[in-house]
């Protein structure tokens, strides 16, 4: 009997030793859940969205982006083009890393030197810095970026998180304890199921002193945790169908703001049917985007006219959105040489195949598109697959049609990256193999221009060409949404989905 009793005690002590309890007081801790664990804590290797969100808390950067995704100065107090190939950046003084060392121009230089080095392990961001020749320190708080060719988009690249000189020149950091950042928070605890961040200045007037990020894979579990007041925020990762029930729970609130991510339907130009612009235009006319937005997104999106959101400063307001017009779609298809077939004209004109991921919303959209296409006489087969296979097929040009989301758009250079001939994979994201010499010239010219107004006009022309050419059907810009606990005050949503609004949150006294 004694041995059984001792075995039970041993079993409990041994196994439950690993169970963890929170080390931060609830009234100072902001609790949120993410679906995935960030893949990198080293800002030089950050490519996934979760790592970027984490980077916003623990690292600082020369520039940042505001709520509407427009560039703002951050660590840089001043920025000016000396000539078309030289950018002068002045640093804010009195900003320190978490090891209490002040950030100097040498630190910044070491970070950008890493991206342009030719030997050793390189960063996934290195290709973006192909125009950067060297970084020169002028003073302790001033440096010059020398470019090999004019690049007006270069400033948007300065949003990468900064490390101290010694770490920036060294090997990849995968141990969270070794990370030294200059953001408002530092990593207090990195466990298998969660991360705890602690504000570096606990005497600050800001109320959020800790951020607890739990990794909750299951969508239903995230919602149940919110219902059970175990979380303060879940952003963009709760099924929209459940959002309608939020008002039933008095302790939860729903927030919504315009988003800048763009969902599109891509066309493969090498396909004999889709090569014809009239067919692509007919497909664009056959989609009732407003209806899909209403039924699948519960109205939480706006129809897209181009890849940039309407509030982007490079957006061309004179663009005409493509109308839903079944008759026009059928006229174009007839003109393109694809008449209705069969005795009673019930057979499809042709069959297309759409590739998509296993994501439930994307699949619903695919089925809605199939129904829309059927009305104009196009049969649509849907093939859903896991992300790895989907991405590989789309990049290799093995997809006739595909639906995807452009996220993290940081400037109008996206038109070069997505549509210019030089960006056909593996050299970029022109997955549809679009080749339009006039567009190619225009996006290169716009990229080289550093004057905002001239750039804007050039990109407006590029947007007009893209609209006529229809390499994509720009479907919609999904809204950003979040479910927050009633105790959270002043949380602001950002159009790009970042979570920096947490820093300014305050807590209400009542629970």
Q: Which residues bind another protein (CB under 8 A)?
A: 11-12, 15-16, 18-22, 36-37, 39-40, 47, 121-122, 124-128, 130, 172, 174, 192-194, 214-218, 220-221, 224-225, 227-228, 230, 386-389, 391-393, 395, 417, 426-427, 429
Residue closer to another protein, measured from CB, 427 or 452: 427
Our CB check for another protein shows the closer of 125 and 331 to be: 125
Contacts of 115 (CB under 8 A, 6+ apart): 44, 122, 123, 125, 126, 128, 129, 132, 160
- Provide the minimum distance between the beta carbon of 102 and another protein in the complex, in angstroms, as a whole number: 30
Taking the complex as a whole, the smallest distance from the CB of residue 317 to another protein amounts, in Å, to 28
Write the CA distances from 71 to 67, 153, 183, integer angstroms: 10, 11, 18
Q: Which is nearer to another protein, 218 or 492 (CB)?
A: 218
Cα-based angle 361, 366, 367 (whole degrees, multiple of 5): 100
Distance of closest approach, residue 6 Cβ to another protein, in angstroms: 16
Minimal distance, residue 219 CB to another protein, in Å: 10
Alpha-carbon distances of 342 from 329, 349, 350, rounded to whole Å: 19, 9, 12
Q: Strand 262-267's sheet: what is its strand order?
A: 301-303, 472-478, 262-267, 401-406, 350-357, 378-385
Whichever of 179 and 302 has its CB closer to another protein, that residue is 179
3-class DSSP state for residue 354?
strand
Strands 378-385 and 488-489: unpaired
Work out how close the CB of 60 gets to another protein at its nearest, in angstroms, rounded to a whole number.
22
Of 138 and 224, the one with the shorter C-beta distance to another protein is: 224
Burial of 225 (0-12, 13-18, 19+ CB in 10 A): middle
Our CB check for another protein shows the closer of 52 and 400 to be: 52
Query: Which one, 249 or 324, has the nearer CB to another protein?
Result: 249
Q: Rounded to the nearest whole angstrom, what is the least distance from the CB of residue 19 to another protein in the complex?
A: 5
Of all helices (H) and strands (E), which one includes residue 36?
A: none
How near is the Cβ of 212 to another protein at its closest, in Å? 11
Min dist. Cβ of residue 122 to another protein (A): 6
43, 167 in Cβ contact below 8 A?
Answer: no
Q: Which two tokens stand for residue 180?
A: 């030294």
Q: Which residues of 295-324 are buried (b: 16+ CB within 10 A; e: fewer)?
A: ebbeebbbbbbbbbbbebebbbeebeebeb
Closest approach of another protein to the CB of residue 36, in Å: 8
Distance, CA of 312 to CA of 303 (rounded, Å): 15
Residue closer to another protein by CB (options 140, 217) is 217
Q: Which is nearer to another protein, 22 or 438 (CB)?
A: 22
DSSP per-residue codes, 248-284: G-TTEEEEEE----EEEEEE-TTSTTTTSHHHHHHHH
* Dihedral sign (CA 264, 270, 272, 277): positive
């Amino acid at each position: 009997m004694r041995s059984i009793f001792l075995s039970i005690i041993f079993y409990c002590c041994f196994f439950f030793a690993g169970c963890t309890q929170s080390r931060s007081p609830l009234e100072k801790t902001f609790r949120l859940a993410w679906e995935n664990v960030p893949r990198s804590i080293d800002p030089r290797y950050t490519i996934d969205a979760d790592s970027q969100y984490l980077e916003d808390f623990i690292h600082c950067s020369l520039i940042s982006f505001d709520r509407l995704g427009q560039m703002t100065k951050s660590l840089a107090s001043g920025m000016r083009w000396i000539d078309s190939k030289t950018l002068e950046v002045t640093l804010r003084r009195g900003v320190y890393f978490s090891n209490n060392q002040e950030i100097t121009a040498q630190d910044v230089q070491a970070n950008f030197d890493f991206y342009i080095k030719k030997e050793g392990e390189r960063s996934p961001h290195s290709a973006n810095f192909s125009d950067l020749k060297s970084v020169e320190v002028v003073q302790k708080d001033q440096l010059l970026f020398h470019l090999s060719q004019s690049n007006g988009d270069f400033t948007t690249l300065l949003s990468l998180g900064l490390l101290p000189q010694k770490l920036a020149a060294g090997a990849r950091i995968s141990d969270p304890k070794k990370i030294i950042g200059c953001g408002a928070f530092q990593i207090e605890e990195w466990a298998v199921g969660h991360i705890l961040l602690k504000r570096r200045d606990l005497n600050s007037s800001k109320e959020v002193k800790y951020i607890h990020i739990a990794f909750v894979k299951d969508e239903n579990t995230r919602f149940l945790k919110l219902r059970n007041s175990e979380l303060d925020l879940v952003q963009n990762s709760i099924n929209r169908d459940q959002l309608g029930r939020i008002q039933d729970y008095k302790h939860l609130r729903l927030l919504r703001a315009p988003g800048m991510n763009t969902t599109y339907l891509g066309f493969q130009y090498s396909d004999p049917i889709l090569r014809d612009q009239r067919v692509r235009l007919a497909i664009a006319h056959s989609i009732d985007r407003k209806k899909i937005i209403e039924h699948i997104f519960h109205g939480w999106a706006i129809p897209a006219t181009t890849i940039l959101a309407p509030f982007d400063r490079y957006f061309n307001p004179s663009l005409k959105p493509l109308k839903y017009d079944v008759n026009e779609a059928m006229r174009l298809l007839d003109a393109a040489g694809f008449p209705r077939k069969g005795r009673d004209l019930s057979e499809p004109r042709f069959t297309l195949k759409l590739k998509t991921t296993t994501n439930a919303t994307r699949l619903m959209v695919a089925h809605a598109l199939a129904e829309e296409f059927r009305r104009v006489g196009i049969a649509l087969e849907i093939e859903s697959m896991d992300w790895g296979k989907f991405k590989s097929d789309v990049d290799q040009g093995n997809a006739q049609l595909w639906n995807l989301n452009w996220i993290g758009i940081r400037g109008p250079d996206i038109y070069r990256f997505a549509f210019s001939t030089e960006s056909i994979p593996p050299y970029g994201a022109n997955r549809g193999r679009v080749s339009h010499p006039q567009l190619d010239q225009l996006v290169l010219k716009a990229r080289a221009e550093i004057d905002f107004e001239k750039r804007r006009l050039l990109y407006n022309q590029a947007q007009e060409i893209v609209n006529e050419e229809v390499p994509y059907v720009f479907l919609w810009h999904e809204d950003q949404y979040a479910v927050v606990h009633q105790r959270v005050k002043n949380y602001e949503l950002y159009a790009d989905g970042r979570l920096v609004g947490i820093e300014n949150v305050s807590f209400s006294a009542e629970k």
